[in-house]
Structure 1
Amino acid sequence: MVSNAKFPLFLPGVRKDSNQNISIISADVREAETVLAFYTVSGEKAESTVEKSYETTAFASFSDIVKLFVEEHQLSEINRIAVAVPGPVIHDQGISIRLPWILDKAEIAAGTGVSDIFLLNDLEAMAYGLADVTDKDLLTIYESENRTTGNVAILAPGSGLGEAGLFYDGKFLRPFATEGGHSEFSPRTTVEVEFYQFLNKIYGIVSWENVLSKNGLFNIFRFLRDEKRHPQSERLIERLKAGRDFSTVIYESAMEDQEQISTIALNTYLEFLAREANSLVLKLKATGGLLLGGELPLLLKEYIDKERLYQKFMISDKMERVLRDIPIYMLLNKKMILAGAAYYAAFSEN
């Protein structure tokens, strides 16, 4: 199946009769909310017809959310359930410190009455979401005239830091999950050493998630505020007191007011983003491209200086020749995890 010629996914069951005319409940499970969607499969497409969000912590189990979703929308004949997990999936269990319960394949089957349950990491689901992506869903950060095929890397910072890859087998791309966001952050400059020491006192081990997630942006900001003594305007202080999403407040403060501490925080964040993107691409030898997804890149897309981000991405001791031809895109489709989980459930098995 080739939905977008840039990213031909390996979906071996796409033409199997038993994968046709089926219905799937797809779930994007997150700390604050769980989003469910009802998909129907026809031909090579999985189409969503119903979608609703629920407060995750308001339910005793994931199965209870599914049962309410089915009841509210009077759904019947559910053939499969696909669950995107914000963490690793091991031995048919999705485990995440952000969730109030473990996602267990057998428990979900028993609790919902649906026998075919598919659990996969949320970034792996995002990778499968490329099946539903068109060129209008891609914002080009950098495009090389010498674009080559090869593995693809996905870096998606939001509430956490998701990282995944797609292995190129010579014809198709095969998604796989990683937990690279939990690898240890390494400072480069004297100020970054101070930043590391600041975070080390808070966390002990300092992971890249402590730097590049939404909480990571807050960590950069409070380091600038508390350790480097950058002043805040009264307008910014009032905005922060209002209780709105912190990342959005800092973005608006930088864009609308050119607030110095907010601008420095965002520039520092984007430099770290470019550096971890560089590291992920080199580790995966992702010559087929880098995809930036997640809440924060989407929030900051109007702020990002594409040329500056590319130049920071290119900094390397010996690998500039490899890095310079790697295309970089931002994923604009906010439903990729939901859609990807549905495509995985529909077509990943032959």
Structure 2
Amino acid sequence: MSLFLSADIGGTKTLLQLSDATGVSLRQQSFPSARYATLTAILGEFLAEAGQPAIAAACLAVAGPVSGRRVKFTNLPWEVDADQLAAHFGISRVVLINDFEAVGLGIAALRPADLLTLQSGQPQPHGVRLAVGAGTGLGVACLTWQGSGHAVHPSEGGHLDLAPQNELQIELLRYLQARHGHVSYERVVSGPGLVAIHDFLRDSGHATPSAVLVHAMQTSDPAAALTQSDEPIARQAVDLFIALYGAAVGNYALLALPRGGIYLAGGIAAKILPRMQQGDFLAAFLAKGRYTELLRSLPVHIVTHPNIGLLGAELAARAPG
């Protein structure tokens, strides 16, 4: 039986899956990425626990710009060489793709139940699609129709310059410039970005966290602690995050004109669905002056499937070489 290995590798977790030729998942496991010195160590542990099966082909979706057969991760101190991995594990074909290329590929495998629609718009089935997702970083990919399906064009759009829209956001920009120099959207529209927004609100005197929130952020995922808190500083941070997210997606939409739909993936949007549905995201998304009505015609969906990147990587692993 031919087995295929697929991986969705991010700065926070590495999700691995073994599947058969029909796409049925036989084994799936998540690993905390930062606890491992190399990707080879994670793959070795996963395959050893699976009984060292023979792998026909593998696709690794990685959080970083892919250059040929190599990649250097953006949020991990890893470098990966596909040929070295193929030789080490005896896999005849190892494909590297950007993690948001995998998200783009996975859109084709989604069901209606995997989507929550924020704006129905006027969808065109063969129109350009846009995938954007805030998680450990901010991923952006564009999809264009090629006659039999959508081709995915990954990008590093998350690193475009932050464009503040009001006095508070200008103040945030200056605060982050003092920390980083260059400030991209990823500095604010991501898990670490949400924490940075909290730090800005705290340090600039806009709000003060309680000892309970400080402890929660120190002892667990700080971004998750903020999304789960009802404290004023946490709510302000999430509100500002959502407004910046909506504005960023609106900018990307003006560039791509995705009449086939905008798909919000990443880990954060699905975890704050009620807040995303309250209207602040769409208000910031639509706030483009003369082009508001154009943006109102574009479908906007939140992807609720937890493993869309793995779906795309699995499809790429089984694709003809």
Q: TM-score, normalised by structure 1?
A: 0.86
Q: Tell me the distance in 2 between the aligned counterparts of 1:83 and 1:307.
A: 36
Which amino acid in the other structure matches residue 103 of structure 2? M
Aligned-partner Cα distance in 2 for 1:100–1:191 = 34
SS of the residue corresponding to residue 318 of structure 1 reads helix
Q: Decide which of 298, 302, 307 is 1:330's aligned counterpart.
A: 302
Q: Which segments of 5 or more consecutive residues in structure 2 lack a partner in the other structure? A: none
Q: 2:259 aligns with which of 278, 287, 290?
A: 287
Distance 1:213 1:103 in 2: 24
Q: CA deviation at 1:302?
A: 2.4
CA distance in structure 2 between the partners assigned to 1:170 and 1:131 by the alignment: 14
Q: Does 1:37 align with 2:25?
A: no
- 1:75 deviates by 4.3
Q: 1:59 to 1:217 in 2, by over 3 A?
A: closer
Do the aligned residues in 1 keep the contact of 2:130 with 2:141 (CA within 8 Å)?
yes
SS state at 2:5 partner: strand
Greater C-alpha radius of gyration: 1
Residue 221 of structure 2: aligned partner: 245
| Shift, 1:200, TM fit | 0.3
CA positional deviation for 1:100: 2.9
- Give percent identity, aligned residues only: 26
1:148-227 alignment to 2 at 5 Å? 148-149=124-125, 150-169=127-146, 172-227=149-204
C-alpha offsets along residues 75-122 of structure 1, whole Å, 9 cap, x if unaligned?
A: 423100110110110021121132232111111111111120110000
Unaligned runs of 5+ in 1: 1-20
- Secondary structure, in 3 states, of the residue corresponding to 2:74? coil
Counterpart in the other structure of 1:27: 7
Cα distance between partner residues in 2 of 1:252 and 1:212: 17
Cα pair distance change 1:247/1:99, threshold 3 Å: closer
Q: Secondary structure at the match of 1:229?
A: coil
Q: SS in structure 2 opposite 1:300? A: helix
In structure 1, how many angstroms separate the alpha carbons of the residues matched to 2:246 and 2:62? Answer: 26
Instruction: Provide the C-alpha distance between the structure 2 equivalents of 1:32 and 1:95, rounded to a whole number of angstroms.
Output: 16
Q: List 4+ stretches of structure 1 deviating above 6 A.
A: none
| CA gap 1:88/1:235 in 2 versus in 1, 3 angstroms | same
Residue 302, structure 1, aligned to residue 278, structure 2: no
| Count of aligned positions | 320
- In structure 2, the CA distance between the partners of 1:25 and 1:260, relative to structure 1 (3 Å rule), is same
- TM superposition shift of 1:70: 1.9
- Superposition TM-score, scaled by structure 2 size: 0.93
Per-residue CA deviations over 1:22-46 (Å, capped at 9, x if unaligned) read 321111222343221101122xxx1
**What SS does the corresponding residue of 2:273 show, helix, strand or coil?**
coil
Instruction: Map Cα deviations across residues 42-71 of structure 1 (whole Å, 9 max, x no partner).
Output: 2xxx12110122343554532333233222
Report the CA distance shift for 1:200/1:308 in structure 2 as closer, same or farther (over 3 A): closer
SS of match in other structure, 1:155 = strand
**Letter in structure 1 aligned against 2:74:** I
Q: Distance in 1 between matches of 2:217 and 2:53?
A: 46
Q: What residue number does 1:101 align with?
A: 78
The range that moved more, 200-209 or 292-301, is 292-301
**8 Å CA contact retained: 2:5, 2:18:** yes
| Aligned partner of 1:62 among 39, 50, 54 | 39
Point out the more displaced range, 259-268 or 59-68: 59-68
- Distance in 1 separating the partners of 2:37 and 2:223: 30
Question: How many Å separate the matches in 2 of 1:306 and 1:49?
Answer: 39
Amino acid at match of 1:106: D
| Secondary structure at the counterpart of residue 76 of structure 1 | coil
In 2: Cα distance, 1:58 partner to 1:205 partner: 29
Q: Which residue of 2 aligns with 1:119?
A: 96
Structure 1: which amino acid aligns with 2:225? V
SS at match of 2:29: strand
How much has 1:204 moved relative to structure 2? 0.4
1:6 alignment partner in structure 2: none
Q: Take 1:270 and 1:106, find their aligned partners in 2: how far apart are those partners?
A: 41
Q: For residue 316 of structure 2, what is the aligned residue in structure 1? A: 344
SS of the equivalent of 2:61 reads: strand
Residue 51 (structure 1) aligned with residue 28 (structure 2): yes
2:206 paired with 1:229: yes
Paired position in structure 2 for 1:268: 240
Q: Distance in 2 between matches of 1:31 and 1:321?
A: 37
